Amino acid sequence: MKTAVYPGSFDPITYGHIDIIDRGSRLFDNVIVAVLNNPSKAPLFNTEERLDMIRKATAELRNVEVDSFSGLLIDYVDQRGANTVLKGLRAVSDFEYELQMALMNRKLNRNVETVFMMTSSRYSFLSSSLVKEVARLGGCVKELVPDYVFERLLEKNK
């Protein structure tokens, strides 16, 4: 069985993330969307809020599981019995960083592959950071995130 882990902060989940999850779910038997719990960062949404939003976004995808982790991704992948890390790429600048991470993960565990998937051109500009900034400044991000995420962004930015 081919299981992929799609890691990220997902603060918040966007349609770009959902695009990768949906397409990844058609390539792998199982996809684990893994929210990184990084205590050195101050996310807008706490881990439980992010998990809840991702679960709602992926509810119709029967082979998608949502979880969280801390520490090294490669350790989490091994603990979950996965064999692939799924990463979305928007631009060449993403690739440079993700290539370094993939090579380090490969050094730490030769049995885990990284698969890069280009995001749909429709979402190639989209990032959680950009969504949060535009929402904080009063711009409309309604078409970039699911409705329940949009509502939560409004609540956070009151």
Q: Which residues are catalytic?
A: 17, 41, 90, 128
* Two structure tokens written together for 118: 């280009």
Half-sphere exposure of 4 (CA within 13 A, CB side): 23
**DSSP label of 119:** P
User: Beta-carbon neighbour count of residue 9 at 10 Å?
Assistant: 18
Contact assessment for residue 44 and residue 14, using Cβ atoms and an 8 Å cutoff: no
Contact assessment for residue 145 and residue 131, using Cβ atoms and an 8 Å cutoff: yes
* Two structure tokens written together for 50: 């992010």
Contact assessment for residue 43 and residue 11, using Cβ atoms and an 8 Å cutoff: yes
